[in-house]
Amino acid sequence: MKYINIGNGEIKASAIALGCMRIADKSVKEVAELINTALEEGINFFDHADIYGGGKSEEVFAEAIDMKPSIREKIIIQTKCGIRKGYYDFSKEHILKSVDGSLKRLKTDYIDVLLLHRPDTLMEPEEVAEAFSILHSSGKVRNFGVSNFNPMQIELLSKYLNQKLIINQLQFSIMHTGMIDSGFNVNMKVDQSIDRDGSVLEYCRLKNITIQAWSPFQYGFFEGTFLGNEKFKELNDKIDEIAAKKGVPNIAIPIAWILRHPAKIQPIVGTTNPSRLKDICKASEIELTREEWYELYRAAGNKLP
């Protein structure tokens, strides 16, 4: 497993992270097998959120890993808050309450990284800053970040914070390339030239904010996976061709495609299948050539100007 420095360089994390959204319905034994496989493969970064499984994902994770100091110090735990039923809530009260709930469910004294899950247009940045300062000074949260934020939303929040935002989690995959499409089509009168996110990729690179790619196998929003999907024959044929050439399972190629980007984007993979996780981790063992990377981009239906 390759490792990257997250954001400010204080965290050395596995290039691939395990997302724990789908573990709530698994048994403790199944989750323990998944986590142990992740650790064996060199994954040390685990992504949670207070809403995953209504909090059950955090609970079963702690139980499965038998949370204790000797285990805790070897792993990086990230969780998120801010999404409530039908609305978003960045109030000081909710942030503090959410973190306390996560700490209790995870059976730990601290969170390595806390992300604000989705932008709340009713956000009072001074109130968020106060909550972050309380969490940081108390030792409950060591680092902070955001998810699905554009550059100006980050700038607005950062103006009031005493802490640096080190992560922005965004949807990105071979079939979800909005972050890079407009960069190829500068000054072009085509739909792909529309900058829909404020040049968030370049902004995060300039600010040393690590981008995490959520749902790296999804197409659309949550429409399904593209791997092995007959709707995307050209892409899958190219994935299979490169996988055979590299001697890795085809599931490793979409992750290798993300890892190849010099922004050092960290994919969050959400599989609950240990065998599949092992195959995914083989992405860390290979590096796509520039030509292969662009072949995959084009095979996904993208055109270069």
Residues known to be catalytic:
52
What's residue 225's pLDDT? Answer: 94
Q: What are the tens digits of pLDDT across the range 93-137?
A: 999 999 999 999 999 999 999 999 999 999 999 999 999 999 999
Q: What are the tens digits of pLDDT across the range 260-284?
A: 999 999 999 999 999 999 999 999 9
Domain positions in the chain are 3-300
| Residue 220 confidence class, pLDDT cut points 50, 70, 90 | confident
Q: What are the tens digits of pLDDT across the range 133-175?
A: 999 999 999 999 999 999 999 999 999 999 999 999 999 999 9
**Range 10-29 average pLDDT:** 96
Q: Residue 59 carries which side chain, given as an amino acid letter?
A: E
**3-300 belongs to which CATH class?**
alpha beta
Q: Average per-residue pLDDT in the chain?
A: 96
